[in-house]
Amino acid sequence: MQDVEEDALPIFKVERVQLQFSISSDFVAAQVANNVLILALSTGRILRIDLDSPSDIDDIDLPKKTSEIGLIRRMFLDPSASHLVISTTLGENYYLHTQSRQPKALSRLRGVSIESIAWNPSLPTASTREILVGASDGNVYEVYIEPSNEFYRREEKYVKAIYKVEGPVTGLWADLISNRSDRSRVLIATPNRLLHFVVQYGQGSIFTNFESEPPTQYEVSASPGPVMSALAVSPDPPDLVSTSGNEIHRSYAWLSTQGVLHGMLWGKATSGDLGSSVFNQSKMFSRAHIPASENASGRKKAKQEPITGVVSSQWHILSFVEGRIVAMQRLDERIVYDQVVLEPGETALCLIADQRKNTYWLFTPQDIYEIVATDEDRDVWKIMLKSQQFDLASQYAKTPSQKDAVAMASGDYLISRRQYMEAASVYGKSSRPFEQVALTFIDHAEQDALRKYLLTKLSILNKSSLMQRVMIASWLVEIFMSKMNSLDDTITTKAQLTENTNTASTKDELGLVRREFRDFVRRYKADLDPKTTYEIISSHGREEELLSYATAIEDNNYVLSYWIQRERWPESLEVLKQQTDPEMFYRYSSVLISHVPTELVDILMRHTDLDPRKLIPALLNYNKDNTVSLGQNQAARYLNFCINTLQSTDGAIHNTLISIYASSPTTSESALLSYLSAQALSKTPYYDADFAFRLCIQHSRVQSAVHIYSSMGQYSSAVSLALKFNEIELASTVADRPTDSDRTLRKKLWLAIARKVIETEGKGSMKTAIELLHRCPLLRIEDLIPFFPDFVQIDSFKAEICAALESYSKSIAALDAEMDASASTAESIKADIKALGKRFAIVEPGERCRVCDLPLLQRQFFVFPSCQHGFHSDCLGKKVVEGSGMAIRGRIRELQSSAARGGPRREKDVRELDALVAGSCILCGDLAIKQIEEPFVTDDDDGREWAI
C-alpha cells in the first residue's frame, strides 16, 4: 500500500467520542480544559471525567434539586481545570474546586445570569484570584473566589461591578502585555460591539481604572431577532513550556451578525494605541464566504443559516454552521475543511477549545465530537511566500524542498530589488544552479555578493564533494586577493572615492576583509590545495596573507622562514616553541643561535627528544663566531646539559665539548680538567682520547694533555710531556700515581724528573736533588750521581752517601742471616728425605678395608702411614675413578689395561697407576672434600646403619 502524501491528508478530522458510560438524560452544558471534561445533565448531575483515564468519573450533585434552583444553563471552566463556575436558569450560581466534590453557592452573585468569564492571566490553582464575570444585563464584575471549608465564610472574597455595556456580555478575555509590566489587556464582546481595554494595575486588583482610558471598539450594525455572538481566543502554542515569562501571540475571533472578525492579539505592545492597531489589522470573514448546505434533493438551500459557534485554533477559525464544521485559514481566509457532522434536525450545545492541550470539541445533547488537527501549519509557508514574507515562510517551511522553494523565491525577489548581498546569503542555501547565480553576480559586477554567495555555498556543501569544495575555496582565495589589492590601490593612489567614503573607511574595510580572509582559511583550510593557494596569493604579492594561510595550515617551515628572513627573532622563537618536528630545530638552529643563543638553548633544553649530534654544526659555528667566556658560552651550556642531564654517551657530543673547551680564548684549563676528571670516574670515557690529546697539544693545554695520558695509564708519556714544557710539579704529581706494586715504574719516573731538574738547574741542582730524595723514598743518592756534572764536589752530599752506605751494610747483614737460615732449612729437608725410606705402618690382623669393610689382608691393599687408613687396591681404585674427573678417569683405565697386557712398560705403568690411585687418602685428601655435597644415606642403603 502506497503512503499517502502529507498534503493529501485533511488538516482537520471530526471523530465521535465513544462514551464509556451510559446516561439517563441529555447534556445541557459542557466544558473542556487541560484534558478534563465537565458534563452537566438535565437531571442536575455533573460528571467530571479525566480524559487521560476516562474510566475514572466523578459524579457530583448540586446542593439543591433542579425544581428549586433550575436547570444548569452554562458552565465555565478555567484553563487549568482547577475552578468551575456553574450558572442555572433561576439565577443561582455555584463554585466547585478541583479538590472538592461539593459545589458551594456564590451568594453574592445570586440573581446574576453569567454569560462569560475572563480568568486571571496567571492561572492560579489555589484560588481564582481576580477574574471578570460578564452578565446578561451588560454588567462586568470583578470577582475573587477563594475556597473555604468554614461554614459561615463565603466562597467569593469580594464582588464589585467595574463596567457596564449595552446588551449581554457574550465574551470576555484578559491577558498581560509582556513589555508593560503594569498593564493588562481586556476584551469585552457584546452582540454588536467588541471593546478593547488597556487597564492599569491597581491596589489589590489587576482590573481597575476601566474609566481612566477610553476603550477602542469595533461596532457592527444591529439586526432584528436573536443574534449569535461569541468571543474565541486561540489556545497556548504547542511548544510553550510555561506561561510565565513567555511572550505569547494569540489570534482572536469575534462572532457577530456580520460574520467573524479575526485578528492578532500581540503579546508585546509596539504602539501607544494598542486597540487601534489590533482592529486596523483585523479582517471580517462574512457568512457569505461559507457555501450553503444542500437539501435532500442535492440543491443549495436558498436561506443561509447563521454561524452558531466559533473557536480559534493556531492558524484556523473553526465555525459551526448548519450542522457542519467549517475551517477557514485565517491568513488568506481560504476554506480548508467543510464537513457535515450532524443529521438534519440535530442541534449542538457548544463548540469549545481546550486552551492548554490544543484540542477542539463539539457537544450535542447526546454526543461528543473531537475535532482533531493534523499538521495545522503545513500550508503556512505557502501563504507567507505568496505574500512575500520570506522570513516567516522559511520559518514555517519544514521539508528541504519547501525551504529550497522559499530560498529561490526570496533570492529572486532580492535581486529584483538590487539587494545583492542579501540575495547572496539566500541563494547560497537554495538549489538554484550554481552557474546561473554566479553569472548573475558577475554580470552586475557584484564581487562582494559573489564572495558571500560562495562562502555560503561552501558552508553547506557536502563534505564528500571534494572537487567542488576545492574549486569554490580556490576561487574565494582569488576573490579575496583581488578585493584587498583593489582596496590597497584605492588607499595608495588616493583616487576619487565613492560618495560618503574616505580613506579611513577604506582602511577599515581592508582590515575587515583581512579578518574575514583569516577566518576563511582557518575554517576551510582542509578544502584548500596548498600549492594552488600559495601560487594564487603569491601572484598577487600578498605576503601577509601568505603568512596567514601558512599559519592556518600549520606550515611552520614557511612561517619560521618568513620571520627569520625579516630578522624578527621574538616571533621566530615563538613559532619554534610550538614545534614538535625535530627537523625544524635542525634546519634553523644555525641562524637562530647566532642571534638569540640563550633563548634558543632554553628551547632546545625543553625538547629532550632532539638528536644533539645533528645540532653540532650549529654549535660549532656559534663557537667559531663568538669569543664569549666559557661561563656564557651557550654551545658549552647545551652540550653540558646533554651530558649531565640527558646522560648522552655519544662520542661526538663529548668530543665537541672538548673542542670548545680546548679552543676557548681563556688561559684557564679548569673547565676542561673538570670534565676530564668527571669522565675518569666512569668505567669507560666516552670521548676520543687521541682526538682530545691532539686538541690539547694544538692549543697548548698541557695539564689536560698530561691528564689524558695519565687516565690511559701512560705515565711515562705523561711525565715526559710535562717535563717537555718544564712542568716539574705536574710531572711530580703524575710520578706518584702508579701503585706501590709498580715500584720500578715509579722509580723510573722520578729518575726522569731528577735528571730534568739536575740538567735544568746546573750548579744549583744539588739542593733540588736532595729534596727529590726526601720526596721519593725509592730514589737513592747513587741513582742521582750519574746525572751530576763532573765538577760537582762530593762534600755537597757526603751525608747522603754515608746514609746510603750504612743502609747497604744493614742490608748485607740481613742477607747473611737469611743465607744461614736457608742453609739450616736445607739440612733439615735432607734429613727428612732420608727418613722417608724407613717409614712403615703396622696392620693388625683384624684390620678391615674402609670401603668394603672386609678384612684388609684378604687381597692386595694400600695403607697410608700418615692417617693409618687402609683400602683394598680394587676398592681404592674404584673410589678414585668415581670421584675423579673425566681425564684422570680415562688415564687410570688406560694404565690398568696396559698393566694387564704386560710388556716392557708394565713397571712404569704400574708406578704411574699407583701414583694416581694412592696419591692421597680418599678419606683425608682432596677427594674427601669433593664428596662433601654427597648425602650420607643413598638410595641403595637400607638405612639400618643409621638406625638409633
pLDDT digits (tens, 9 = 90+) for 306-321: 889 999 999 999 999 9
- pLDDT, mean of residues 758-784: 57
442 or 912, greater pLDDT = 442
8-31 pLDDT per residue, tens: 678 899 999 888 777 778 899 999
How far apart (Å, rounded) are the C-alpha atoms in residues 494 and 823?
126
Residue 636 has pLDDT above 90, yes or no: no
What pLDDT does residue 765 have? 53
Residue 485 within any structural domain of the chain: yes
* One-character DSSP codes across 665-701: S-S--HHHHHHHHHHHTSSS--S-HHHHHHHHHHTT-
The whole domain housing 932 covers 856-946
Residue spans of alpha helices (H) in 335-428: 380-386, 390-396, 400-416, 420-428
Strand order in the sheet with 12-16: 12-16, 368-373, 359-363, 350-354
d(CA 319, CA 342): 14
pLDDT score of 1: 32
* Total domains, the chain: 4
Mark out the alpha helices in 112-264 (DSSP H runs): none
Q: Are 880 and 892 in contact, with CB atoms under 8 Å apart?
A: yes
622, three cell numbers: 656559534
Same domain, 365 and 408: no
Q: Which residues contact 255 (CB under 8 A, 6 or more apart)?
A: 228, 229, 230, 231, 232, 307, 309, 310, 319
Query: Per the domain annotation, does 815 fall within a domain?
Result: no
CA 376 to chain CA centroid, Å, is: 43
Asked if pLDDT for residue 758 goes beyond 70, the answer is: no
Indicate the range of 339-343, 452-456, 830-834 predicted with least confidence: 830-834
581 in the same domain as 545 = no
C-alpha cell at 816: 747473611
Place of cell 509590566: 181
Of 378, 399, 431, the last residue of a domain is 378
573 & 674 share domain:
yes
DSSP secondary structure letters along 434-480: HHHHHHHHHHTT-HHHHHHHHHHHHHHS-TT-HHHHHHHHHHHHHHH
Per-residue pLDDT, 3:
37
Do residues 779 and 772 touch, judged by C-beta distance below 8 A?
Answer: yes
Based on the domain organization, do 347 and 465 belong to the same domain?
no
Three-state DSSP state, 621: helix
Predicted pLDDT of residue 4: 36
Of 325, 323, 351, nearest to 338 by C-alpha is: 325
Same domain, yes or no: 921 and 869: yes
Output Rg (C-alpha) for the chain, integer angstroms.
61
- Residue that the C-alpha cell 730514589 belongs to: 779
Distance CA 78, CA 72 (A): 18
Same domain, 628 and 538: no
| Strand 861-864 to 216-219 pairing | unpaired
Using pLDDT thresholds of 50, 70 and 90, give the confidence band for residue 110.
very high
Distance CA 909, CA 898 (A): 7
Between helix 743-761 and helix 728-735 the angle, nearest 10°, is 170
pLDDT for position 193 = 93
Percentage of the chain surpassing pLDDT 70?
A: 83
How does DSSP assign 23-72, residue by residue? -SS-EEEEEEETTEEEEEETTSEEEEEETTSTT-EEEEE-SS-HHHH--E
d(CA 807, CA 803): 6
Separation between Cα atoms, residue 274 and residue 266, nearest integer Å: 9
* Band (350; pLDDT cuts 50, 70, 90): very high
Region 816-835: mean pLDDT is 78
Is the domain of 186 the same as that of 264?
yes
Helix, strand, or coil (residue 61) = strand
237-285, pLDDT tens digit by residue? 887 654 444 567 889 999 998 889 999 988 776 655 777 888 888 999 8
Residue 821 lies in a domain: no
Give per-residue burial for 100-115: e unless 16+ CB within 10 Å, then b. eeebbbbebbeebbbb
Work out the average pLDDT over 316-341.
91
457: left (phi over 0), alpha (psi -120 to 50) or beta: alpha
Residue identified by cell 708406578 is: 911
Backbone angles phi and psi of 618, in degrees to 5: -65, -40
Domain of residue 117, CATH code? 2.130.10.10
pLDDT at 835: 67
Statement: residue 495 has pLDDT above 70: no
Report the candidate in 509, 576, 520, 578 with the shortest Cα–Cα distance to residue 545: 520
Which grid cell is 565?
Answer: 628572513
Contact present, 328 and 285 (Cβ < 8 Å): yes
- Domain boundary among the residues 337, 363, 378 is at 378
Terminal CA-to-CA distance of the chain, rounded, Å?
A: 106
Q: Indicate whether 78 belongs to any domain.
A: yes
Q: Please check whether residues 711 and 723 belong to one and the same domain.
A: yes
Q: Do residues 647 and 662 share a domain?
A: yes
Per-residue pLDDT reduced to its tens digit, 899-928: 777 777 788 878 888 888 887 888 887 777
Q: Is residue 499 situated within a structural domain? A: yes
Within-domain flag for 232: yes
- Residue scoring higher pLDDT (179 or 127): 127
Asked whether the predicted pLDDT for residue 945 surpasses 80, the reply is no
Domain boundary among 527, 552, 577: 552
Q: Is residue 5 part of a domain?
A: no
Alpha-carbon dihedral sign for residues 171, 174, 177, 182: positive
- Percentage of the chain with pLDDT > 90? 20
Same domain, 538 and 600: no
Partners of 396 in the beta sheet?
Answer: none
| Dist. CA 687–CA 691, nearest whole Å | 8
Q: pLDDT digit string (tens) for 398-413?
A: 888 888 888 888 888 8
Smallest Cα–Cα separation from 549: which of 531, 566, 568, 565? 531
Number of H helices, E strands in the chain: 32, 31
Cα(568)–Cα(588) distance, rounded to whole angstroms? 13
Q: Are 723 and 706 in contact (CB under 8 A)?
A: no
Phi, psi angles (nearest 5°) of residue 547: -65, -40
Contacts 24+ apart (CB under 8 A), 52-61: 54/20, 55/20, 57/21, 58/101, 60/96, 60/101, 60/102, 60/103
88 bridge partner residues: 72
Residue 675 pLDDT exceeds 90: no
- Higher pLDDT pick, 773 / 386: 386
* Residues 509 and 572 both lie in one domain: no
Asked if residue 287 has pLDDT above 90, the reply is no
Same domain, 252 and 225: yes
Is the residue at 7 inside a domain? no
Q: Identify the pLDDT of residue 114.
A: 95
pTM: 0.58
More confident residue, 864 or 762: 864
Average confidence (pLDDT) over 508-515: 88
Residues with Cβ within 8 Å of 591's Cβ and at least 6 positions away in sequence, in order, are: 564
Looking at residue 245, its pLDDT comes to 44
Which of 574, 641, 581 has the alpha carbon at shortest distance from 612? Answer: 641
Q: Is the pLDDT of residue 680 over 90?
A: no
Distance from C-alpha of 235 to C-alpha of 589, rounded to nearest angstrom = 75
Mean pLDDT computed over every residue of the chain: 81
